[in-house]
Amino acid sequence: MLIAGNWKMFKTRAQTEAFFAEFRPPPGTRVVVCPPFTSIDAAVGRGVPVYAQNVHWEREGAYTGEVAAEMLLELGVEGSLVGHSERRQHFGETDHAVALRAQAALDAGLRVVACVGETEEERQRGDTEAVLRAQLSVLDAHRNLIVAYEPVWAIGTGKTATPELAQEAHTFVKSLIDVPVLYGGSVKPDNAEEILRQPDVDGALVGGASLEVGPFAAICEAAARVAKL
């Protein structure tokens, strides 16, 4: 069971230090945090593995605004998200670029959480499986690869997928690629346990509720309870 906190574009270095002054990951579950690039070195060495939110596919080069895997490894970063829907929606990230990022990061020795998920319109059109199939078709299973299923309509909206819907999507993802699958989208302390109890849900990628110590610790504790079942 893995709980990953995606801090998105939140938390300065000072706020990161304040978080770790209070946060103690509960035993019985794996926890990682994904701070913005500028807060990574304030997060490394605080007892919780640190992942980046994105990583470039080249080792170095003229790619303004990008960061390479080697640069992250030098800071003590252990993994990276790729293909988050906010990258796809706001920054034109394509399936091809996501594949390049994932492969380069894995080759460099980082763990990778590759994010997939359908928009509300795609679900209403009945295209969920086609979208997931296309997004996953560019990824190959790897021992350090995890997929995060994050339905776009559930991100930051308070509209969580029902446990049944999450289970159904995770089963479909696992029929296409044999890797652990995290659920993401409005995971909160009061819904985490029922989602994490689904047999094909291997953990959660948590946005808003990972920013405060209390709710994030409560989600990690829910994962530890489920892992014991």
Judged by beta carbon, residue 170 or residue 228, the one nearer ligand 13P is: 170
Interface ranges with ligand 13P (CB under 6 A): 6, 84, 150, 155-156, 184-187, 205-209
> Phi and psi at residue 7, in whole multiples of 5°?
-80, -5
Q: CA 226: distance to chain centroid? A: 19
Q: Least distance from C-beta 215 to ligand 13P, angstroms? A: 10
Q: Least distance from C-beta 61 to ligand 13P, angstroms? A: 27
Judged by beta carbon, residue 107 or residue 173, the one nearer ligand 13P is: 173
Q: Which of 86, 118, 122, 150 is catalytic?
A: 150
d(Cα 57, Cα 42) in Å, to the nearest integer?
25
Report DSSP letters for 85-109, one per residue: HHHHHHH---HHHHHHHHHHHHHHT
Judged by beta carbon, residue 25 or residue 185, the one nearer ligand 13P is: 185
Under a CB-based contact definition with an 8 Å cutoff, are residues 195 and 224 in contact?
A: no
- Residue in the structure block whose two tokens are 């509209």: 159
d(Cα 205, Cα 184) in Å, to the nearest integer?
5
Q: Least distance from C-beta 59 to ligand 13P, angstroms? A: 26
Judged by beta carbon, residue 62 or residue 189, the one nearer ligand 13P is: 189
Give me the torsion for CA of 2, 9, 104, 25, rounded to 10°.
-20
Q: Which residue is nearest to ligand 13P (CB)?
A: 207
Q: Is 84 a catalytic residue?
A: yes
Q: Least distance from C-beta 6 to ligand 13P, angstroms? A: 4
* Burial class of residue 132 in the structure, from the number of CB atoms within 10 Å of its CB (0-12 exposed, 13-18 middle, 19+ buried): buried
d(Cα 98, Cα 56) in Å, to the nearest integer?
9
Judged by beta carbon, residue 79 or residue 184, the one nearer ligand 13P is: 184
Q: Is 142 a catalytic residue?
A: no
Q: Least distance from C-beta 213 to ligand 13P, angstroms? A: 16
Q: Which of 84, 86, 122, 170 is catalytic?
A: 84
Active-site annotation, residues: 84, 150
